[in-house]
Structure formats: structure tokens, C-alpha cells
Amino acid sequence: MRSFIPYGQQWIDEDDVQAVIKTLKSDYLTTGPKIKQFEEKLKEVAGAEYAVAIANGTAALHAACFAAGIQEGDEVITSPITFAASANCVLYMGAKPVFADIDPATYNIHPDEIRKKITKKTKAIIPVHFTGQPCDMDEIIKIAKEYDLMVIEDGAHALGAEYKGKKIGSIGDMTTFSFHPVKHITTGEGGAITTNSKELYEKLLIFRTHGITRDVEKMTKDEGPWYYEQHFLGYNYRITDFQAALGISQLKKLELFLEKRRKYVKQYNDAFKDIEGIVIPYQLPQTISAWHLYIIQLELQKLAVGRKEIFQELRSRNIGVNVHYIPVYYHPYYQKLGYQKGLCPHAEKLYDRMITLPLFPKMQSEDVEYVIQSVKEIVGKYRIG
């Protein structure tokens, strides 16, 4: 039996280890110079004017919602095919998440569905670049300008992705990223927000440190070098210096990581494109996906079993398949808030049919071939006719 192949995994090499050790031996463990260095590197990668490193991807979303001025009584439109944090961040502000259905081809939030959900209470849109494929940002930005809405891109899957020549991180009002170990780069836990707005940038900086500032220009008075002021209720969402050191080292390998992901995706696509019973991912024209996830759809009408049986057989072969994601409003917590199944039919149909296959830079081509062969055999066994 082959060793277990997870759906995702970090790549840590000796350069990463030494970068962290060097910082651990320095004068700073948290709130030191490496954080600013990491932010400078990150804003280059994202093509943005400003970057704010933060504790994790969820904290990034929360901070962005705060900076956007979202408050009780507001509504924010997002996708149901995402991790719960993309909607939870709206609840943190006392506002209401509103779920718009996906485009069944791209799996991303559909601009036409966004339009259907806009009300007088709508304050922002949180498009999720699901799997690393950019959303249809031209249409989303057009809608946002028409209705005076903020756009907070959830780019947790999309570091290194591009939309019509623009880097994800440079298009909307703010873009959030995650550096969890299964993402494109890792800082252990960690996240960031990029923006081209100095005003939003300054709000984000203060929000991650309790709402406290030491900037003399922003304080109501200056009693001396020790003095600081809390201007609003922020959070302790700081990232550590040694995490930032790891992030700097990881960013140096981002292009390598993306290259390997795209290589393995091509292997998958070439193998599955003509297999009856399997639908491979569609790519929106003029986009470059960062390929965080590789998702196949099962054509269940052509199979004698459901998704669960296929999933379990793949797991029995030590292939760490997964499902991304359960529609957010399916969760018991959201059901208690009054959300009901049937809200987004295309998203629900996708959920019933999709399986995430392993995809990460540390994979070898033979790992990919083993996954391919296993999928072909199992789907073939249950194919009708």
C-alpha cells in the first residue's frame, strides 16, 4: 500500500528553517522588522500599494470588514462555496451575509446572481477566488461602482493568480490572503490584506493592534515618548516576526510552487478530459489560476453509485481526497439563523458532485499518476453502460 497522499501539504526546506532560527536568535520575536519586510515583499507579489500582515486569513477578513465600515444592519453578498470564514467575518461586524449562487462553469460567484441579491442594505461584496481561479472581476467592479459598494476579495486560494493581466491583490478595495500550511506559501498560521488605499491601510494597521496608535499625527495629544491612545475597539491580531521571516523565505519559492501546481494540473486535465463520468475544471478566459485546489465533478447520472462511494474507495487507496466546500448555509449555526437549503441551486448541485484531488508542490509526478490511475479505475468500475 502506498503511503498516504494528503490533498495539500506545506513545503519547508532548510532555507526556511534557517530564516526562522535567525529571527528566533534576534532581538525580536513579535512586532519586529521582519513583519515590514514581509509586507514589502508581499505587496510586490500582489501588485498593491500596501500590505498588512495579520494573525490568520480569518483575521484578515474580519479586519477588512471593519475597515470597510460594515456594521449592524448592513448586508454583504458572498459565495456559499467557500470556507465559513468568508461569511463569518460579516457576522463578526453584526451584519448579515447574503449568499449569491455560483456560475456552474467556473464555480465562482456569478455577477448576475449578485445583482439579484442587492438591496438598500447592501454594503459590500466578498467575491471568493475559489480554487485559485479569479472571479469575473470586471463585472463585479462594475456592479460595485453602480451601487457604491465595497469589494473585499477573498484571495485565500489565489496568491499569484492573475485576472486580465492584473494580479489578484490589486483589483478590489481590499484583498485578503491566508498562509495556512495547505496554501501557496505558509507562515504556519498567518494572513494579510492588500489595498491601494492609504486610508484603509491605516485603519487595518490600527485594527490589528487593539485599535491603539502611537502615531503622534493621529493622537489627540502627546504626553511623551511612552504615550499611546486607543481610538476604537480593535483586536490583538498581530503576526510574529519569526512567522514573517518564514513568509519572506517562502515567497522566494512562490513561482516554483505555482509552476509545480500548474504542471500537475496539466497531468490531471490531460488524463481526465475525455473520461466519461468526470468533469474537469473550466478556466475563465484571460485568467491565470493559482491552482490551490483541483476539483473534479462526477457525472452522477452516468455512475451506479454516489459521490460518497467514490470518495471512500479513493480514501481506501490512501489518497487524501476531500470536499471543498459544504455550502456555508448548510451548517447548523447558519440554519439556526434562518438560512434554508435551496437558496443557491447551482452551488448545492456542485457540492453533491465534487471531489478535491491531491495537489501540492511536494507531490511527485508518480503521485499524480497514482491518483489518476485510481480515479480512472474506480469511476470505470461504476460507470453505467
pLDDT band at 353 (very low <50, low <70, confident <90, very high): very high
Give the helix ranges, DSSP H, for 81-227.
85-92, 111-117, 137-147, 198-207
Residue range 254-382, CATH number: 3.90.1150.10
Output the pLDDT for position 153: 99
Output the pLDDT for position 385: 74
Residue that has been written with the C-alpha cell 471568493 in this structure: 128
Read off the pLDDT of residues 354-370 as tens digits, 9 standing for 90 and up.
999 999 999 999 999 99
Read off the pLDDT of residues 163-213 as tens digits, 9 standing for 90 and up.
999 999 999 999 999 999 999 999 999 999 999 999 999 999 999 999 999
User: In the predicted model, what is the mean pLDDT of residues 60-89?
Assistant: 98
Domain ranges of the chain: 14-251, 254-382
Rounded Cα distance between 93 and 71, Å, is: 5
Do the beta carbons of residue 218 and residue 6 sit within 8 Å?
no
Output the pLDDT for position 160: 98
Of the candidates 213, 170, 215, 164, the one whose C-alpha atom is nearest the C-alpha of residue 51 is 170
pTM (predicted TM-score): 0.98
Read off the pLDDT of residues 125-170 as tens digits, 9 standing for 90 and up.
999 999 999 999 999 999 999 999 999 999 999 999 999 999 999 9
Which one from 183, 203, 253, 260 is the annotated catalytic residue? 183
Rounded Cα distance between 253 and 347, Å, is: 34
DSSP state of 53: E
User: In the predicted model, what is the mean pLDDT of residues 103-117?
Assistant: 98
Output the pLDDT for position 354: 98
**Domain 14-251 - what CATH class?**
alpha beta
DSSP state letters, 223-244: --TT--EE-S---B-PPBHHHH
pLDDT band at 374 (very low <50, low <70, confident <90, very high): very high
Q: Is 142 a catalytic residue?
A: no
1 pLDDT higher than 80: no
User: In the predicted model, what is the mean pLDDT of residues 278-293?
Assistant: 97
pLDDT band at 278 (very low <50, low <70, confident <90, very high): very high
DSSP state of 94: T
- Indicate the residue type of 61: L
Output the pLDDT for position 372: 98
Asked if the domains 14-251 and 254-382 are classified in one and the same CATH topology, the answer is no
Rounded Cα distance between 321 and 306, Å, is: 15
